[in-house]
Amino acid sequence: MSRHRILPALGVVLAACGGGGTADLSTIPTTVLPSSVASTAAPTTVADSPSSTVAVTTAPGTIGLSADGPWRQVDSAPGITTPGLVYELMPKLWVYLPITEDVPNGITWTFNETDRPLIEAYLQARLVYFAAVTTSPMDLDNPGWQEWYADGGAVYRPGLEARDREGQVADLDVGVVLRPQVIGDERTETDGIVFDCVLDGGVFRMPDGSLAEGSTIGVVADGVGYRMASVQGTWKVTGVGTQPEACL
């Protein structure tokens, strides 16, 4: 199905493309992601709604996200059927972190202590965005923009301000599940790349509750790539682009 994406990309010039959920890839400057990141890509449609959930089990003592973070561990998330850690970041927004390698199912990275600070910063950045676009008016002055984005979220403003003027607001609808993994290439103590095959079931709505132009109900697997860098000891987002390989 054709859906309009409303998750903006930091660091890429992309025309709005077919697809849906919470991506908005317009009015963004030159990419800083690897050359393998495509400039345009329609997300893969997920045939079945992720409304059915499977309980996810973890062994006692398994590594987890920091206990003082803005998340809470839960048993399951829509569309997740493999063992791992699941956290709710806000209502209808989850993250799945694999703890067991499962190559046939595309799981080649597992959550680990070395990558934990990077992943937590990535999740904080995503949470700032989703919290902003699900608020009316959109919260573009949250201190989190400065804390978790190298540019303070400046490149997001044109697109989000345009939607805000129309009274649009994001509705996570059937839910959004982040499924990040840290890519080994270019991973150093101060740099890293996160691929995420997001199960995105969100839409933009107009003030009267109708769907914004281009939005349709449903779920897509939306591949994105985020470049992260440690800036004075704090991991921050420095670039984002579409990354279809994230969903292979």
Q: Residue 27: pLDDT band by 50, 70, 90 thresholds? A: very low
| Residue 46 or 147, more confident | 147
Q: Kindly report, residue by residue over 88-113, the tens digit of the pLDDT.
A: 999 999 999 999 998 888 889 999 99
Q: Residue 120, Cα to own-chain centre: how many angstroms?
A: 12
Write the single-letter amino acid at 35: S
Q: Kindly report, residue by residue over 119-171, the tens digit of the pLDDT.
A: 999 999 999 999 999 999 999 999 999 999 999 988 788 889 999 999 999 99
Residue 204 has pLDDT above 50, yes or no: yes
pTM (2 d.p.): 0.80
Tokens of 160: 């989000």
Tokens of 31: 């990419």
Q: Give the integer Cα–Cα distance in Å for 94 and 88.
A: 4
pLDDT at 15: 25
pLDDT at 172: 97
Q: Kindly list the domain boundaries of the chain, sorted by start residue.
A: 71-247
Q: Give the integer Cα–Cα distance in Å for 8 and 157.
A: 10
Q: Residue 205: pLDDT band by 50, 70, 90 thresholds? A: very high
Q: Kindly report, residue by residue over 168-182, the tens digit of the pLDDT.
A: 999 999 999 999 999
Tokens of 146: 């400065």
* CA-based end-to-end distance of the chain: 19
Q: Give the integer Cα–Cα distance in Å for 62 and 67.
A: 13
pLDDT at 95: 99
pLDDT at 45: 36
143 prior amide bond cis, ω within 30: no
Residue 247 has pLDDT above 80, yes or no: yes
Q: How large is the average pLDDT for residues 177-190?
A: 94
CATH number of the domain at 71-247, please? Answer: 3.10.450
| Lowest mean pLDDT segment, chosen from 15-19, 72-76, 152-156 | 15-19
Residue 22 has pLDDT above 50, yes or no: yes
| Lowest mean pLDDT segment, chosen from 60-64, 154-158, 170-174, 233-237 | 60-64
For residue 130, count other CB atoms closer than 10 A to its CB. 21
Residue of 130, 132, 150, 151 whose CA lies nearest to 141: 132
